């Protein structure tokens, strides 16, 4: 061991690399940021489709933006939902239908909360319809129906995120980094609650943590070009820390015993928050 309740309630509401750490050149494509065992490679959804690179950097919107705290909350909510969608898909691929269903149900709950926020948001009807169909397929354990609708649901969520980010003026990288720090803190809490007496006793909390870290990975990949231009060295340190955290989640279901203890997970999250201050 390296020296732990279901569904975190977050209101409205990683780049992790496996293997040898490689520092990409500025402007490198997202593929160069992923190691051989990145979570996204076992999902039906490619990392590029999960959060498109087009979201990164400045936007052209001139509309008044919501307060920073609200922007962070909304961004975090989208990333939180992204994590549940990816983890749910991962579990379905291994035929863990019962374990997958709560993640899709949580997605619907969080989407409903998000749609009630006092901010200008994209139309939610298209994604909600796709997600409802997907949930029914998971309930029925209908593999063909699931795979027919999974990519479409992911596309609609991606489109909604894209539309929201296009509404924000200037660069959203700072907002994204703050949201990621919050996601990682949530991941550490979920991980700690999944462990008792050096055993995993709450698989769904383990999965929640895995999904949050997975989503944080995608956000860092998404904004990598901008972050590299600000401080490549600190970004490299963050990637190595996330790589270490990712090692605690080798499979969709928990391993027999924890690979990393909660204290070490918390320490890495705190260090990432400290390093990422330069990007905010």
**Tens digits of per-residue pLDDT, 74-83?**
888 888 888 8
CA distance 197 to 191: 13
In angstroms, rounded to a whole number, what is the distance separating the alpha carbons of residues 16 and 226? Answer: 17
Question: Is pLDDT at 235 greater than 90 in this prediction?
Answer: yes
- 67 pLDDT more than 80: no
Average pLDDT value for residue range 36-42: 42
| Best mean pLDDT range from 61-70, 77-86, 127-136, 244-253 | 244-253
pLDDT band at 65 (very low <50, low <70, confident <90, very high): low
- Which comes out higher in pLDDT, residue 214 or 194? 194
Between CA 223 and CA 56 the distance in angstroms is 5
What's the pLDDT at 28? 36
pLDDT at position 175 over 70: yes
Which pLDDT does position 110 carry in this prediction? 82
- Over residues 235-252, mean pLDDT: 92
Residue 35 has pLDDT above 70, yes or no: no
Min mean pLDDT across 45-59, 196-210, 229-243, 255-269 is at 45-59
Of 189, 228, 222, 247, the C-alpha closest to 39 is 247
7: left (phi over 0), alpha (psi -120 to 50) or beta: left
The whole-number pLDDT of residue 14 equals 31
Bigger pLDDT: 4 vs 169: 169
Give the pLDDT of residue 148.
Answer: 85
CA atoms within 13 A on the CB side of 85: 37
């Amino acid at each position: 061991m390296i020296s732990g309740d279901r569904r975190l309630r977050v209101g409205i509401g990683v780049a992790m690399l496996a293997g040898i750490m490689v520092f990409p050149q500025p402007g490198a494509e997202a593929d160069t940021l992923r190691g051989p065992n990145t979570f996204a490679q076992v999902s039906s959804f490619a990392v590029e489709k999960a959060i498109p690179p087009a979201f990164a950097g400045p936007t052209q919107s001139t509309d008044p933006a919501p307060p920073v705290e609200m922007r962070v909350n909304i961004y975090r909510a989208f990333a939180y939902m992204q994590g549940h969608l990816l983890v749910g898909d991962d579990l379905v691929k291994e035929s863990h239908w019962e374990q997958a269903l709560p993640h899709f149900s949580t997605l619907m709950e969080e989407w409903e909360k998000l749609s009630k926020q006092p901010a200008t948001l994209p139309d939610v009807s298209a994604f909600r319809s796709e997600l409802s169909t997907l949930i029914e397929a998971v309930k029925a354990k209908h593999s063909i129906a699931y795979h027919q609708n999974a990519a479409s649901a992911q596309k609609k969520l991606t489109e909604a995120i894209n539309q929201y980010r296009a509404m924000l003026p200037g660069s959203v990288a700072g907002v994204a980094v703050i949201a990621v720090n919050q996601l990682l803190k949530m991941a550490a809490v979920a991980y700690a609650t999944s462990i008792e007496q050096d055993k995993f006793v709450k698989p769904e909390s383990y999965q929640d943590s895995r999904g949050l870290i997975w989503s944080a990975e995608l956000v860092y990949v998404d904004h990598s070009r901008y972050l590299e231009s600000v401080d490549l060295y600190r970004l490299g340190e963050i990637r190595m820390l996330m790589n270490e955290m990712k090692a605690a989640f080798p499979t969709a279901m928990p391993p027999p015993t924890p690979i990393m203890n909660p204290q070490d997970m918390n320490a890495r999250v705190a260090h990432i928050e400290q390093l990422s201050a330069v990007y905010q």
